[in-house]
A and B are shown apart, each in its own frame.
Chain A
Amino acid sequence: MFKATVYVTVKENVLDPQGVAVQGALHSMGFSEVSKVRIGKYMAFEIDTTDRAEAEERVRQMCEKLLANTVVEDYRFELEG
């Protein structure tokens, strides 16, 4: 059994309206050192296999097919266990 954690964010070259708004808020609060804010999604689930390579491949497929829209989003994931 592995614990998978998936992070999905808007691609770097694609404008992220939420990131822009949050960055503006941070700047107006005095955190002027902040740049490149991206808002993303965090997903966690368990995956029932003992084979790490298989788990990685399955999670990659899940990301490509459903969890991220690779036209506008990047993803990365971690496996624990």
Chain B
Amino acid sequence: MNFAVLVFPGSNCDIDCYKAVEQTVGQPVDYVWHTATDLSKYDCILIPGGFSYGDYLRSGAIARFAPVMAEVAKAAAAGKYVMGICNGFQVLTEAGLLPGALRRNMSLKFRCHSTILRVENNKTAFTNQYEVGEMIDIPIAHGEGNYYCDEATLEQLKKNDQIIFRYSDNPNGSMEDIAGICNEQGNVLGLMPHPERAVNQLLGSEDGKKMFTSILNAWREQHDAASIG
């Protein structure tokens, strides 16, 4: 299974994502520059955190027009796995690949600390190794993670079980304590917390590991190979 980690000018969690893939699932992984025009060899695309294009105008607003994003849209439509973390989540909402938007934190402060998330749905490619209701320790680091969508969209998210993670102690004012959502098809996930920073006890938590092993597991099931435990 091939992983891509996108790199925009201003991405700063790209190395963390790359290392997390290496250390959790040990699959081939490449850095892919924002100018790339072919992602066909990749099965999973990770859009890392950071401050793409300096967060100018709005977080993710300029990155979403980078050439590689047209390929991400194609990959998403083809059912490949796409995970946007933090700034990656912002880019996905700006691109319209996920509904809603991320506003300034209610506190107006950049929040950088560990958070406890509740796994709301374990039937996705990103969460199949977790239990529903499992409380996991994953750090956040953002100033604009305050999720918003209109009422109709929120109803859709609930109806389709697209709310994947909720904060147990809301750090940013996010609607319904939303920390992460997926698209209707379930193959595109966006979340503000950083699973790639929680893959080893040395980092304070390894609860993020299962997000990566879930992806590999889903891919293997789809490709009829042996499932990992």
Contacts and interface: CB of A to CB of B under 8 A. Distances in A.
Interface of A: 10, 14-15, 17-18, 21, 41, 66-67, 69, 71-72
Nearest to B173: A17
Interface of B: 57-58, 61-62, 65, 93-94, 99-101, 103-108, 146, 148-150, 173
Given A10-B103, A14-B103, A72 B148 contact: yes
A53 B100 CA distance: 32
B97 to A, nearest CB: 13
Q: Which 7 A-B pairs have the closest CB atoms?
A: A71-B101, A72-B101, A17-B104, A17-B106, A17-B108, A69-B101, A72-B148
B17 to A, nearest CB: 25
Nearest to A70: B101
SS of B interface (majority): loop
A17 B143 CA distance: 12
SS of A interface (majority): mixed
17 contacts: A10-B103, A15-B173, A17-B103, A17-B107, A17-B173, A18-B108, A21-B108, A41-B57, A66-B57, A66-B61, A66-B65, A69-B61, A69-B94, A71-B93, A71-B150, A72-B101, A72-B103
A66 B104 CA distance: 18
A55 B65 CA distance: 22
Given A17-B103, A66-B65, A71 B149 contact: yes
A10 B99 CA distance: 17
A41 B149 CA distance: 21
B94 A17 contact: no
B79 to A, nearest CB: 25
Nearest to A41: B57
Given A21-B108, A69-B94, A72-B148, A15 B61 contact: no
